[in-house]
A = this chain, B = another copy of it.
């Protein structure tokens, strides 16, 4: 209870359900919004309504766009034959920011997880299998997180897919990284995958 009027109370409660905000920071955010009504609150309400009306999942790859088939799947400039598998739309965006991959994507929507009872059917893996045949894919690049769940999922997918090259992102020292600050696992991975110069 914030002792605020009902409308404002309802807004605070909804805001508190956003990841990264709790009840206290939601209250602070709402007060800020009300102070900046013209510059922030009203534009935000409009932007949310617009996204709510137009955003949809791409039926092909799971990316978020404004049409049934997303801009990447629809683009003729993207090379055919390579597909990059990511956990989530945020990861797809991160890959696109790097701007180095020119093929298409496949968003799993998570990772396999025995604890959370997430199996292959929940993860759009059947759809991936379909796409490999229908789109004539020759290489599947697994860009999954270097976590236990991410790597389990990668191994599962590699085992499942036959007749196609499956690769995964290299592991090693990140650009700008100092050895002193890296964990043992990263150093071990980087040493095992060392390259001759």
Residues of A within 8 A of B (CB): 1-5, 7-8, 10-11, 14-15, 17-21, 25, 27-34, 37, 40-45, 47-52, 54-55, 64-66, 71, 88-90, 92-93, 96-97
Contacts and interface: CB of A to CB of B under 8 A. Distances in A.
A4 to B, nearest CB: 6
A51 B66 contact: no
B55 A37 contact: yes
A196 to B, nearest CB: 35
For the complex formed by this chain, how many copies does it contain in all? 2
Nearest to A40: B17
Contact of A19 (B1, B3, B29, B37): B29
Q: Which among A71, A89, A97 has the greatest number of chain B C-beta atoms within 10 A?
A: A89
Contact of A5 (B19, B30, B34, B65): B65
Contacts of A7: 47, 50-51, 54-55, 66
B21 A20 contact: yes
Contacts of A97: 1-3
A18 B32 contact: yes
Contact of A93 (B4, B10, B65): B4
A5 B64 contact: yes
Given A90-B28, A93-B4, A97-B3, A52 B42 contact: yes
